[in-house]
């Protein structure tokens, strides 16, 4: 018993001492310090080596974050073969491939290596070594931006690449030889380049393939081959989408009594040549599908000449046989949409869109109502096709006399007002409402001057959502006046219409053609703002300064390095933006 009591007493004493022991409390100050590199194998700027493994050692336990994407290696290696592993405070990278002779390699780790507690990334971590007896030191730097401003004000997932002149691949087919990522301000720098001739590209790499998808990702290219024998600065890339896939007819076949031509992509220009076109032969376009209708031909075929052109200028010019057969297939119902809700000042500008070509309008059931008992009959001369070859859209310009004091108007079409070429009619009444504006509540004038002698110009006034509110086409002047605008905040966009087709055209890398230039008005007091606030009764004058393209400068590698603070860099960027009105 005495022994048992003695053992219990010892246990109690040990427990008391354990409770009283001072230890580090849970929590504490948050670790904001990045992991520090303490050792690297091979050492930075080593020469005459061909390592199979790279080791980095840090002052704390670390982890890897998306290493295959974050670690940028130049020149190009097969990253699928590379294996990166984090073990305690070390990162071990097995290359699993042979490196090129006499080549300088750069491993830029970006934010891939982080401490294991708070995820703080190691800063400015880069490894440079050469398989030859010298380190290549040439640089290629500049900035990247988008032709059309993005919702996100910061540049993300944008890469810049150099391809050797004789490389048969490009930004759409394979990763580049040299590569770098742009920072959030669009600045980039590719370092340790070997002297030679290169082709340069930039692209938005949203899917981490290290190349551009032309159907979904914006990209840009320099038209000329670069001879890099000295550092090259001030390179500017303007990103935009340009679908370079082939324009072709994927399928052509009968559908009920009609004939469908299915295309590989959406055309911007369609021309049909046949004696019946516009009288008995019609078509509608639904994205990539053209459906042809013939009002009288059945169980027979006709040959038409069809010319198609897409946004990058690719063309299909062919003869095609259209077959129209008897069919019991149920015909589509006629559907209609309008621009109801649109405001006007002196005349209603109505738009009616149909899912099929229209052949007849019953005007006795189409009119404007402005009170319970008053109407304005629609005069047929007010109705027109904006595209004379496309019968699926009509516009109606209706002048409203000043003697009518009402502010709300409604275009009314009873059922059976519109008839399509298949003898279907609107089965329900159509009501589209329009509001007359009070001139006293409008902006008097916005006078726009574009500081350029280049013409023609497309001038687009955009609402806050980016939709075109008003537009003008300038052929012999660089000044335009927008009058009687609704008070709101707008943006102004200028397109240099180089080929006179009255629309913006993207680049075409296959024929070495750059995208048409686009300029936005920016606030002189805030170059990052595109907004133009306009109030009732105001008269505003603004000048659009074209986006400046800095000359590409090749200069010898400096012997002294000018180290600048982040504040100095941001200050220089602000000055550049003010000067270019970007």
Q: Is the pLDDT of residue 559 over 60?
A: no
Asked whether the beta carbons of 419 and 434 are under 8 A apart, the reply is no
What is the C-alpha separation between 390 and 206, in angstroms, rounded? 38
What is the reported pLDDT for 334? 97
The string of pLDDT tens digits covering residues 61-109 is: 999 998 888 899 999 999 889 999 999 999 999 999 999 999 999 999 9
What is the reported pLDDT for 569? 39
> pLDDT class for 157, splitting at 50, 70, 90?
very high
| Closest C-alpha among 11, 9, 147, 136 to residue 74 | 136
406 plus 455 within the same structural domain: no
Which residues touch 105 (CB under 8 Å, ≥6 apart)? Answer: 73, 74, 75, 77, 99, 128, 129, 130, 131, 192
- Residue 259: alpha-carbon gap to chain centroid: 35
Which residues touch 396 (CB under 8 Å, ≥6 apart)? Answer: 348, 349, 350, 351, 352, 378, 382, 383, 411
> Which tokens sit at 169?
């691949």
Residue 134 sits at the vertex; the CA angle it makes with 131 and 135, to the nearest 5 degrees, is: 85
Residue 258 phi, psi (nearest 5): -115, 180
Among 56-65, 417-426, 553-562, where is mean pLDDT lowest? 553-562
Calculate mean pLDDT across residues 356-373. 94
Q: Is the pLDDT of residue 11 over 80?
A: no
Q: Is the pLDDT of residue 571 over 70?
A: no
Q: Is the pLDDT of residue 8 over 60?
A: no
Cβ burial 511-530 (10 Å sphere, 16+ → b, else e): eebbbbbbbbbbeeeebeeb
What is the reported pLDDT for 69? 85
Residue 365 phi, psi (nearest 5): -115, 20
Here the CATH number for the domain that contains residue 317 is 2.60.40.1220
375 plus 345 within the same structural domain: yes
Number of domains the chain is built from = 5
The string of pLDDT tens digits covering residues 458-502 is: 999 999 889 999 999 999 999 999 999 999 999 999 999 999 999
- CA torsion, points 164, 166, 172, 176, in degrees to nearest 10? -20
Query: Which of 291, 324, 357 finishes a domain?
Result: 324
What is the C-alpha separation between 494 and 240, in angstroms, rounded? 16
310 plus 340 within the same structural domain: no
Residue 512 φ/ψ region, left for φ over 0, alpha for ψ in the -120 to 50 degree band, beta for the rest: left
123 plus 202 within the same structural domain: no
What is the reported pLDDT for 135? 96
> pLDDT class for 30, splitting at 50, 70, 90?
confident
431 plus 340 within the same structural domain: yes
410 plus 456 within the same structural domain: no
What is the reported pLDDT for 4? 52
- Residue 578: alpha-carbon gap to chain centroid: 24
564, part of any domain: no
> pLDDT class for 565, splitting at 50, 70, 90?
very low
307 plus 346 within the same structural domain: no
578, part of any domain: no
477 plus 531 within the same structural domain: yes
Which SS3 state, helix, strand or coil, does residue 567 take?
helix
3-class secondary structure per residue, 265-305? CCCCEEEEECCCECCCEEEEEECCEEEEEECCCCCEEEEEE
Which residues touch 452 (CB under 8 Å, ≥6 apart)? Answer: 478, 546
What is the reported pLDDT for 561? 32
The secondary structure of 106-122 as a DSSP string is EEE-TT-EEETTT-PBP
Terminal-residue alpha carbon distance, the chain: 91
Among 6-15, 202-211, 365-374, 505-514, where is mean pLDDT lowest? 6-15
Q: Is the pLDDT of residue 7 over 60?
A: no
Q: Is the pLDDT of residue 554 over 80?
A: no
Q: Is the pLDDT of residue 2 over 60?
A: no
456 plus 483 within the same structural domain: yes
What is the reported pLDDT for 48? 97
19, part of any domain: no
Residue 60 phi, psi (nearest 5): -155, 170
Total residue length of the chain: 582
Q: Is the pLDDT of residue 304 over 50?
A: yes
* Tally of helices (H runs) and strands (E runs) in the chain: 3, 44
Q: Is the pLDDT of residue 572 over 60?
A: no
Which SS3 state, helix, strand or coil, does residue 402 take?
coil
What is the reported pLDDT for 552? 67
Cβ burial 130-150 (10 Å sphere, 16+ → b, else e): bbeeebbebbbbbbbbbbebe
527, part of any domain: yes
The string of pLDDT tens digits covering residues 234-271 is: 999 999 999 999 999 999 999 999 999 999 999 999 99
185 plus 121 within the same structural domain: no
503, part of any domain: yes
Q: Is the pLDDT of residue 14 over 70?
A: no
Calculate mean pLDDT across residues 152-175. 94
Q: Give the largest Cα separation in the chain, rounded.
A: 122
pTM above 0.85, yes or no: no
Here the CATH number for the domain that contains residue 147 is 2.60.40.1120
189, part of any domain: yes
406, part of any domain: yes
The overall average pLDDT reported for the chain is 89
542 vs 582: which has the higher pLDDT: 542
Among 401-410, 469-478, 545-554, where is mean pLDDT lowest? 545-554
Query: Which of 217, 239, 261 finishes a domain?
Result: 239
Query: Which of 279, 303, 324 finishes a domain?
Result: 324
445 plus 432 within the same structural domain: no
568, part of any domain: no
> pLDDT class for 525, splitting at 50, 70, 90?
confident
Asked whether the beta carbons of 140 and 200 are under 8 A apart, the reply is yes
Range of the domain at 79: 37-130
Calculate mean pLDDT across residues 290-316. 96
What is the reported pLDDT for 555? 56
346 plus 425 within the same structural domain: yes
What is the reported pLDDT for 520? 95
């Amino acid at each position: 018993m005495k022994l048992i009591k003695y053992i219990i007493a010892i246990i109690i004493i040990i427990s008391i001492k354990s409770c009283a022991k001072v230890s580090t409390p849970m929590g504490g100050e948050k670790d904001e310090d990045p992991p520090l590199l303490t050792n690297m194998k091979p050492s930075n700027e080593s020469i005459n080596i061909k390592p199979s493994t790279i080791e980095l050692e840090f002052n704390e336990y670390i982890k890897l974050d998306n290493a295959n994407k974050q670690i940028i290696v130049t020149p190009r290696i097969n990253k699928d073969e590379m294996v990166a592993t984090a073990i305690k405070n070390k990162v071990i990278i097995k290359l699993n491939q042979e490196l090129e002779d006499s080549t300088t390699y750069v491993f830029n780790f970006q934010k891939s290596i982080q401490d294991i507690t708070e995820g703080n990334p190691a800063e400015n971590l880069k490894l440079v070594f050469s398989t030859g007896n010298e380190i290549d030191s040439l640089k290629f730097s500049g900035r990247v931006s988008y032709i059309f401003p993005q919702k996100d004000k910061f540049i993300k997932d944008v890469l810049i690449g150099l391809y050797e002149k004789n490389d048969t691949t490009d930004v759409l087919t394979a990763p580049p030889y040299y590569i770098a990522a742009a920072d959030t301000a669009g600045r980039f720098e590719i370092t340790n380049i070997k002297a030679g001739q290169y082709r340069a590209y930039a692209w938005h790499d949203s899917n981490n393939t290290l190349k551009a998808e032309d159907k979904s990702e914006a990209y840009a290219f320099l038209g000329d081959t670069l001879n890099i024998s000295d550092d090259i600065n001030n390179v500017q890339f303007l990103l935009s989408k340009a679908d370079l896939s082939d324009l072709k007819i994927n399928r052509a076949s009968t559908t009920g009594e009609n004939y469908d031509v299915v295309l590989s992509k959406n055309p911007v220009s369609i021309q049909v040549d046949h004696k019946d076109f516009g009288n008995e032969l019609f078509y509608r376009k639904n994205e990539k599908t053209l459906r042809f209708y013939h009002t009288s031909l059945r169980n027979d075929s006709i040959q038409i000449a069809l010319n198609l052109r897409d946004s990058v200028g690719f063309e299909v010019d062919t003869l095609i046989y259209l077959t129209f057969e008897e069919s019991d297939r149920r015909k589509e119902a006629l559907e209609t949409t309008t621009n109801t809700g649109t405001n006007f000042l002196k005349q209603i500008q109505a738009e009616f869109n149909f899912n099929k070509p229209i052949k007849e309008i019953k005007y006795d059931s189409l009119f404007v109502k402005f009170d319970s008992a008053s109407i304005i009959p629609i005069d047929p001369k007010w109705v027109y096709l904006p595209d004379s070859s496309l019968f699926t859209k009509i516009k109606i310009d209706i002048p409203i006399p000043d003697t009518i004091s009402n502010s709300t108007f409604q275009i009314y079409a009873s059922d059976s007002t519109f008839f399509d070429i298949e003898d279907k009619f609107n089965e329900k009444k159509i009501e589209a409402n329009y509001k007359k504006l009070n001139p006293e509540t409008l902006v008097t004038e916005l006078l726009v001057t574009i500081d350029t002698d280049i013409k023609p110009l497309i001038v687009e006034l955009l609402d806050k959502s980016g939709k075109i509110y008003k537009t003008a086409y300038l052929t012999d002047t660089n000044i335009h006046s927008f009058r009687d605008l609704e008070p709101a905040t707008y943006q102004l966009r200028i397109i240099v219409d180089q080929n006179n087709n009255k629309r913006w055209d993207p680049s075409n890398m296959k024929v070495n053609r750059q995208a048409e230039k686009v300029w936005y008005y920016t606030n002189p007091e805030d170059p990052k703002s595109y907004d133009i606030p306009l109030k009732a009764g105001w008269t505003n004058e603004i000048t659009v300064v074209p986006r400046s393209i800095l000359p590409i400068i090749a200069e010898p590698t400096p012997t002294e390095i000018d180290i600048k603070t982040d504040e100095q860099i941001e200050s220089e960027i602000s000055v550049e933006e003010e000067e270019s009105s970007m």
